[in-house]
Amino acid sequence: MPAQFGLSPVISGSAPIGIFDSGVGGLTVLKEIERQLPKESILYVGDTARLPYGDRTPGEILEFVREIIAWMMGKQVKMVMMACNTSSALALEQVQAEFPVPILGLIHPGARAATKAGQRVGVIATPATVASNAYRDAILEADARTQVWQVGCPRFVPLIEGDRLLALETKQVAAEYLSPLLAANIDTLIYGCTHYPHLEPVLRSLLPSQVQRINPAVHMVRAAAKELELLNLKNPGPARPPQFYVSGNPQQFAHLSERWLGYQPLVGQVSFVPVAAPSLHSQGQ
C-alpha cells in the first residue's frame, strides 16, 4: 500500500466522514447523513472550480476524484462517501482499489432501491453518468426484468449552481427532460445526480403522484451506517459542525448553500494537486 495513502493507525470513530461533489449537489447527501447518522462529523468538499463534472471525460473525472480523496486522506477521514453520481459511475471501483479507506458510491444503492420500487424505471442524470450506462447496468444486475429509460440533463446543474431553482426556465427545462419518461409511462424515477433533489418541488409538480421518486443518497447512507457498525467506526458523538472546503470561490458557495443549510457556513479554499495513479493497495504493494 503506498505510504502516502495509508490509513493512520490512530484513526477512530471520532474522525470525520469525507463527502465530495462538484458543487452544492453534495448538500443533499450531507442532509441525509445528518438525518440518519446525526452523531457523525462531516468534511465536505465541493470541486466548484471544475464543475460541472457531467460534461467531463471519464479520464478527467477519475483524476479529480483521486486528487480529492488523496487530500481527504491527509485530513484523516475514516470513510469517503461519493456525494456525486458522476464520480460514482466513472471512478468508484478504481479508487476503491487504490485507497485504503472504505469508499461508498451512489449507483448500486440507488439501482437496488429502484428495482424494489418498480419495473419501469426512469433515470435522470448528467450526460457523463448516462453515457457510462452505470445505472442501466446496475439496475439490470439487480433485476433483469426491469425496463430502463435514461435521460441526460446537462442544463440542470448550471441552473441549480446559478441559483435559478424557481425560474420559469427551470420548470420548462424539467418538463422537457421528463417528457420522454412520462411518454414511456415510468413507475419509478431515480434522481441520478445529487443536485436534483434540490429540484424536488419542480419535479414533483410535473410527475404523476404514483411515480416513486428515488434519492440514492438515502440508500447509500443506510449502507454506510451498516459498514461503520461492522468496522466498529461509529462516532459515539456528538458530531462536530461540518467543515466545508471548495476549490472555487468560498463566498459564493457559502452564499448559495445557505438556502439549504439554514446558515452561512465558513468555507475554506483548497487547491488540489495532481496525483499519480497509486499502485493498487489490493495487490498489497
Which residues are part of the catalytic machinery? 84, 193
Cell numbers standing for residue 103:
469508499
Residue 152 within binding range of ligand DGL, rule CB under 6 A: no
What's the closest the beta carbon of residue 86 comes to ligand DGL, in angstroms?
Answer: 4
Toward ligand DGL, which CB reaches closer, 51 or 174?
51
Q: Which residues pair with 81 in a beta bridge?
A: 19, 104
Residue 246 within binding range of ligand DGL, rule CB under 6 A: no
State the angle between helix axes of 85-98 and 58-74 in degrees (0 to 180), rounded to the nearest 10: 60
In the chain, the N- to C-terminal Cα span, in Å, equals 5
Residue 194 within binding range of ligand DGL, rule CB under 6 A: yes
Residue 150 within binding range of ligand DGL, rule CB under 6 A: no
Residue 121 within binding range of ligand DGL, rule CB under 6 A: no
What's the closest the beta carbon of residue 75 comes to ligand DGL, in angstroms?
Answer: 21
| Residue corresponding to grid cell 471544475 | 50
Contact stretch for ligand DGL (CB under 6 A) within 60-68, 193-201, 203-211, 267-275: 193-201
- Helices (H) and strands (E) counted in the chain, each on its own, are 11, 10
Pairing mode, strands 188-192 and 267-269: unpaired
What are the respective helix, strand and coil percentages of the chain, to the nearest 5? 50, 15, 35
In three-state secondary structure terms, 113 is: helix
Contact stretch for ligand DGL (CB under 6 A) within 6-14, 45-53, 218-226, 231-239: 45-53
What's the closest the beta carbon of residue 114 comes to ligand DGL, in angstroms?
Answer: 16
Contact stretch for ligand DGL (CB under 6 A) within 132-140, 191-199, 230-238, 243-251: 191-199
Residue 68 within binding range of ligand DGL, rule CB under 6 A: no
Q: How far apart are CA 120 and CA 65, in angstroms?
A: 32
Residue 214 within binding range of ligand DGL, rule CB under 6 A: no
Cell numbers standing for residue 159:
441552473
In three-state secondary structure terms, 112 is: helix
Contact pick of 16, 18, 46, 52 for ligand DGL (by CB under 6 A)? 52
Contact call for residues 86 and 154 (beta carbons, < 8 A):
no
Residue 248: alpha-carbon gap to chain centroid: 18
Toward ligand DGL, which CB reaches closer, 102 or 192?
192
Toward ligand DGL, which CB reaches closer, 52 or 278?
52
Residue 91 within binding range of ligand DGL, rule CB under 6 A: no
Toward ligand DGL, which CB reaches closer, 194 or 247?
194
Q: How far apart are CA 115 and CA 210, in angstroms?
A: 15
Contact pick of 16, 18, 25, 102 for ligand DGL (by CB under 6 A)? 25
Cell numbers standing for residue 92:
468508484
Residues of this chain that bind ligand DGL (CB under 6 A) = 21-22, 25, 51-54, 84-86, 126, 129, 157, 193-195
